[in-house]
Amino acid sequence: MNTFEENLKALALTLPEAAAPVANYVPYVQAGNMLFVSGQISKIGDEAIGGRLGEGLTVETGQAAARLSGMNLIAQIKAACGGDLSKVKRIVKLGGFVQALPGITEADIPKVINGCSDLMVAVFGDAGRHARFAVSAPSLPLDVAVEIDAIVELH
């Protein structure tokens, strides 16, 4: 078992199956040693966190939603690596979208996406530290609270 798998186990996390695309796109594309993972939503199986920040969704619940998206990202990364997370050299960048009402304070949006960022660092250590953006959106697919994509460097 590699360190990243050990970290998942120590965190008592079980990755979901990598989700199939719901439209005309692929879940990831590898170009050279770079892996581009399509946006992953805050839904795993029947568990989904939806709603809008400022309309019933709290920052804390949003962070849990971002963590769900992060679990889906890691599942896609693992699938792209043939089941071997040790092929990950670095999480390069995350792009986070939070469904939010207009007027939500700018500071709350990055706090929500921290749910995913914190997960990446917990699982991948220093290789999980990444650049990112975190923006609000008036709506997201399936009324989920969060969608996040990733750029990953592979060995």
Residue 54 belongs to some domain of the structure: yes
Query: 23-71: per-residue pLDDT in tens?
Result: 999 999 999 999 999 999 999 988 899 999 999 899 999 999 999 999 9
User: Buried b vs exposed e over 118-137: b needs ≥16 C-beta within 10 Å?
Assistant: ebbbbbbeebbebebebebe
**pTM beyond 0.85, yes or no:** yes
Taking the C-alpha atoms of residue 94 and residue 96, their distance in angstroms, rounded to an integer, is 6
Find the domain containing 115 and state its range: 3-10+29-154
**Tally of domains within the chain:** 1
Tell me the CATH number at 125: 3.30.1330.40
Residue 128 belongs to some domain of the structure: yes
Query: 125-140: per-residue pLDDT in tens?
Result: 999 999 999 999 999 9
Residue 16 belongs to some domain of the structure: no
Q: Which two tokens stand for residue 77?
A: 């990364």
